[in-house]
Structure 1
Amino acid sequence: MLLQNRLNQRIAETIKQSIELERQEADTSTASWRQRCEVAQVAMYGDAERTTFIHHVTEKRGSDAAHEIQSGAAKLRTAAIFFLASKTS
């Protein structure tokens, strides 16, 4: 469990750094930027928190919105994992 928590922390920090770099180049006043930030926030959550958030989005905004957030978060987490793996090699 401790190892999983540490990995989640490292993934979240990597995603946070990535979003900060994107912020420098992005038009942060757009709806697409707000959506990107929401997806990034969800990607930084642990498994249980992500599941709960996606469930709430499904109830409030529908399954298409929930699937889009879930898919985007999974892609960000995967990219972060690959980045972390490349740093340690």
Structure 2
Amino acid sequence: MLPDRLDQRIAEAIKHQIDNERTESDTTSDAWRSRCEVAKVAMFSDAQRSVFIHHVSERRGSVAAHEIESQAKTLRTSAIFFLARKPS
């Protein structure tokens, strides 16, 4: 599968997961805003994620950048496993 198409499918899986979580979450909380930010970053391509993380590091510090990067990787990995189990 082409990388762009894979990124698109990963983004769709993440969007679906966030939409499901939205019904069970307090969407006014800081935790929800953080979750949505991580999901947005996880939907970016590798290059876009790198640029975003760099900007976060400059503006909010390396700890915040590392946390977003780590959570985005985890979310992408979950989406990839979901797609692997999903019948075509």
Question: Does TM, scored on the shorter chain, surpass 0.5?
Answer: yes
| Aligned-residue offset at 1:81 | 0.2
1:8 and 2:7 aligned:
yes
CA distance in 1 between partners of 2:76 and 2:39 (Å) = 9
TM-score normalised by L of structure 1: 0.96
The structure with the largest helix share of the pair is 1
Where in structure 1 are there 5+ consecutive unaligned residues? none
The percent of aligned pairs where both chains have the same amino acid is 64
- One-letter code aligned to 1:27: D
Please give the alpha-carbon distance, in whole angstroms, between the structure 2 residues aligned to 1:63 and 1:32.
Answer: 19
Match of 1:45 in 2: 44
In the other structure, the counterpart of 2:60 is: 61
Q: Distance in 1 between matches of 2:83 and 2:28?
A: 30
What is the CA distance between 1:88 and its match in structure 2?
3.8
Moved over 6 A (4+): none
Aligned to 2:82: 83
Map 1:26-45; keep pairs closer than 5 Å. 26-45=25-44
CA RMSD of superposed structures (Å): 1.2
Tell me the distance in 2 between the aligned counterparts of 1:33 and 1:12: 18
With normalisation by structure 2, the TM-score equals 0.97
- Partners of 2:52 and 2:7 lie apart in 1 by 16
After the TM superposition, which of the residue ranges 53-62 and 2-11 deviates more from structure 2? Answer: 2-11
